[in-house]
């Protein structure tokens, strides 16, 4: 067997073996994502945080360096990068090894390079999300007693510090307030409200702001040129808008867009990649809702459901479209996430909708989104929410109704439909005020408010009546909306504005009681007449059943 040839030298095997890749391909450096490759290495490369850089620069120049810094802001604005830059600034020794703390670290000395590579022994980074307990903090407390090995300062960078436990924070307080002169603490967090006040009071706080879309777009353009990629200006604006102020998020989107476009990135490709291309469906659905087209609305909703579109995402898309309409109506700049077709549609829709309708639709969409998230069947909840939107779109604007009521033309709107309402609509609003309280009740009943007329006759007593004021004393329990309904009904029936008020002052009996008293008096008067008295005496069983005053007045002697 020792004399047999090597397998690669065996003749006549007839095997077509693939060529082995050269060693250079195996040892090539792995690809680094843009968010890591273009992480700022100097304060001049840190975008959007000029105020903080100025403060730190002045503090370092004057030797007023705090012992603890707290960096807070949304994700991707540069909290951890800033902490590393501060560590480099405090420990830089310059190219000649004789430099001191500076806001412009050289980046070539051993401390700068070691900190940038994350291997400096005196710059300790700790993730509070995985080191939350008091034992982890106790290790820090024990270690701060010893001086730095090779650096000017021993620096502890604790990311997401708000995730430390309460006991861990309490254990850190004393050391944080009076640390040794060679120790600096740098805390980073996205939820500063969860950091105890006792810790905040011991730190110099810097709030890192969201980076503006313009600065992000310029930064992404610089990165694209460095990568040799052709990216449209509008695509850069779309990416910057989608990043929501986060440089890291934007670089991740740009990285994905470059891979998606194979070296060329267009705005259309970015919108499609971000899932914005399907906004046409949202726009058509909103058009159908505003047109009160129930069949089309339900058809599009069912089609989206069959395609697997989440009902919550559908309602959020409608809210985004309505928000774009609001911005257009207010004259604000268009959103770069929208295509030109979407911007034109927003302008057209803004001309159709009033401010009241926009706000009403927004509230209904917000309510519908909450219902969809809680309903057992989100699709059914979305259907009911859109049907409610359609009916709301058909309603007149409340401001218009109030204006018409104020102008005296609201009787046809406020009163229910019917012959009486139609008669008032054709004859126009009443302009003459009633002479007395019973006449007002008659006018209200003629306006179709029979139940309110019964209440006015039976359940209240008149205290004061004038052309502008109506004061009543409740004799029986009234509904909570009685005054409002009476005010509206009196205005609709007479065309004048009424001040209606309920009081405990003494008043007249109800009209029903007054009619009963008047009838009793009339009966007594009739029975006292000589002829009636003689008749009853002759016929003891006779009963006075009814009185007809008109017959009495027309009787012959």
Q: What is the dihedral of CA 5, 9, 15, 19, to 10 degrees?
A: 130
Beta carbons of 265 and 231 less than 8 angstroms apart: yes
Say which residues have a Cβ less than 8 Å from residue 395's Cβ, sequence separation at least 6: none
pLDDT for res 164: 92
Helix (H) or strand (E) holding 464: strand 460-465
pLDDT for res 21: 47
pLDDT for res 155: 93
d(CA 427, CA 421): 10
Angle, CA 152 vertex, CA 148 and CA 156 arms, to 5°: 60
pLDDT for res 416: 42
pLDDT by 10-residue block (mean), the chain, 557 residues:
44 44 52 86 86 88 89 88 91 89 90 90 90 89 90 92 92 90 92 91 90 88 90 86 85 87 79 68 83 86 82 85 84 66 76 80 89 88 88 62 58 42 40 77 84 86 82 83 84 81 84 82 77 72 65 44
pLDDT for res 114: 92
Beta carbons of 510 and 461 less than 8 angstroms apart: yes
pLDDT for res 183: 93
The upper half-sphere exposure of residue 445, i.e. CA atoms within 13 Å in the direction of its Cβ, equals 13
d(CA 168, CA 55): 30
pLDDT for res 340: 67
**Look-up of token digits 């990649």:** 273
């Amino acid at each position: 067997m020792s004399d047999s040839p090597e397998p690669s030298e065996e003749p006549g095997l007839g095997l077509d073996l693939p060529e082995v890749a050269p060693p250079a391909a195996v040892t090539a450096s792995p690809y680094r994502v843009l968010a890591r490759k273009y992480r700022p290495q100097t304060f001049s490369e840190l975008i959007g945080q000029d105020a903080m850089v100025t403060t730190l620069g002045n503090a370092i120049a004057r030797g007023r360096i705090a012992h603890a810094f707290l960096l807070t802001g949304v994700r991707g604005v540069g909290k951890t990068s800033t902490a590393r830059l501060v560590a480099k600034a405090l420990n830089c020794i310059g190219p000649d090894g004789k430099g001191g703390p500076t806001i412009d670290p050289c980046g070539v000395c051993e401390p700068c390079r070691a900190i940038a590579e994350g291997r400096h022994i005196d710059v300790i980074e700790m993730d509070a999300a995985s080191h939350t307990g008091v034992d982890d903090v106790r290790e820090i407390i024990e270690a701060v007693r010893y001086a730095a090995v090779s650096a000017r300062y021993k620096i502890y960078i604790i990311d997401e510090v708000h995730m430390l436990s309460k006991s861990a924070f309490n254990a850190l307080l004393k050391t944080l307030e009076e640390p040794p002169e060679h120790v600096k603490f740098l805390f980073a967090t996205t939820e500063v409200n969860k950091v105890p006040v006792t810790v905040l009071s011991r730190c110099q706080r810097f709030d890192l702001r969201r980076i503006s879309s313009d600065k992000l777009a310029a930064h992404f353009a610089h990165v694209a040129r460095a990568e040799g990629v052709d990216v449209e200006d509008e695509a850069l604006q779309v990416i910057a808008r989608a990043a929501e102020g986060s440089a890291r998020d934007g670089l991740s989107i740009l990285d994905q867009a470059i891979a998606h476009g194979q070296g060329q990135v267009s705005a259309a490709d970015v919108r499609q990649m971000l899932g914005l291309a399907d906004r046409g469906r949202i726009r058509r659905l909103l058009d159908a809702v505003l047109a009160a087209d129930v069949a089309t609305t339900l058809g599009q909703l069912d089609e989206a459901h069959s395609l697997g579109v989440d009902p919550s995402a559908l309602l959020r898309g409608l809210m985004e479209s309505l928000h774009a309409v609001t911005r257009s109506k207010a004259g604000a700049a268009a959103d770069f996430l929208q295509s030109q077709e979407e911007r034109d549609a927003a302008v057209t829709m803004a001309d159709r909708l009033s401010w009241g309708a926009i706000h009403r639709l927004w509230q209904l969409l917000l309510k519908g989104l909450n219902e969809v998230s809680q309903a057992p069947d989100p699709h059914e909840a979305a259907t009911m929410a859109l049907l409610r939107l359609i009916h709301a779109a058909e309603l007149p604007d409340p401001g218009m109704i109030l204006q018409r009521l104020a102008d005296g033309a609201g009787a046809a709107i406020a009163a229910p439909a019917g012959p009486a309402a139609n008669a008032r609509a054709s004859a126009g609003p009443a302009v003459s005020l009633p002479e007395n309280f019973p006449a007002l009740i008659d006018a209200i009943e003629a306006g179709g408010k029979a139940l309110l007329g019964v209440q006015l006759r039976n359940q209240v007593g008149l205290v004061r009546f004038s052309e502008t004021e109506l004061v009543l004393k409740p004799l029986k329990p009234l509904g909570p909306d009685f005054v409002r309904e009476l005010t509206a009904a009196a205005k609709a029936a007479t065309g004048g504005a009424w001040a209606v008020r309920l009081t405990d002052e003494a008043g007249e009996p109800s009209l029903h009681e007054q009619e009963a008293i008047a009838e009793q008096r009339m009966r007594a008067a009739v029975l006292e007449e000589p002829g009636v008295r003689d008749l009853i005496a002759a016929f003891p069983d006779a009963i006075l059943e009814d009185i007809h005053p008109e017959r009495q007045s027309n009787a012959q002697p």
